[in-house]
């Protein structure tokens, strides 16, 4: 893993997300997923911080991802768990943008 990489080209376009199912991606910073909700694009942890459930396989509605294992819910914009306040239990998030070739670029988490 290279810490000096600040941007990662996923090779995916927004058209690749039409199924409304999150797309699992491996980045230089770990395993994330691209989530689309209400026309907005989010990049957040692919796995739930609670028992590593496959969050990317869960449902996404209104910018909120729900883990299919135990129904924990997270805001995709900032990674905060909305079921309960728990500062230690949040998703890592990354900013996204569309690159010159139309592919989705993910910026390194801060």
Mean pLDDT, the chain, rounded, equals 90
Using a CB cutoff of 8 Å and minimum separation of 24, what contacts does 97-104 make? Answer: 98/14, 99/9, 102/13, 103/9, 103/10, 103/11, 103/12, 103/13, 104/9, 104/10, 104/12, 104/13, 104/14, 104/34, 104/41
Does the pLDDT of residue 2 top 70, yes or no? no
pLDDT digit string (tens) for 36-90? 988 899 999 999 998 999 999 999 999 999 999 999 999 999 999 997 766 678 8
pLDDT above 90 covers what percent of the chain? 72
**Residue scoring higher pLDDT (87 or 99):** 99
| Domain edges within the chain | 7-107
- Cα 14 to its chain centre, rounded Å, is 14
Task: Identify any residues that bridge with 60 across adjacent strands, giving them in sequence order.
Answer: 65
d(CA 99, CA 83): 34
In CATH, which of 3.30.70.260, 3.20.20.70, 2.102.10.10, 3.30.1330.100 is domain 7-107? 2.102.10.10
């Amino acid at each position: 893993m290279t810490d000096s990489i600040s941007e990662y080209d996923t090779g995916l376009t927004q058209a690749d997300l039409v199924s409304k199912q999150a797309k699992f991606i491996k980045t230089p910073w770990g395993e994330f997923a691209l989530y689309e909700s209400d026309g907005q694009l989010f990049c957040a942890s692919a796995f739930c911080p609670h028992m590593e459930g496959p969050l990317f396989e869960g449902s996404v509605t209104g910018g909120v991802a729900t883990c299919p294992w135990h129904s924990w819910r997270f805001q995709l914009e900032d990674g905060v768990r909305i079921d309960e306040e728990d500062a230690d239990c949040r998703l890592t998030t990354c900013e996204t943008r569309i690159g010159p070739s139309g592919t989705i670029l993910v910026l390194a988490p801060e």
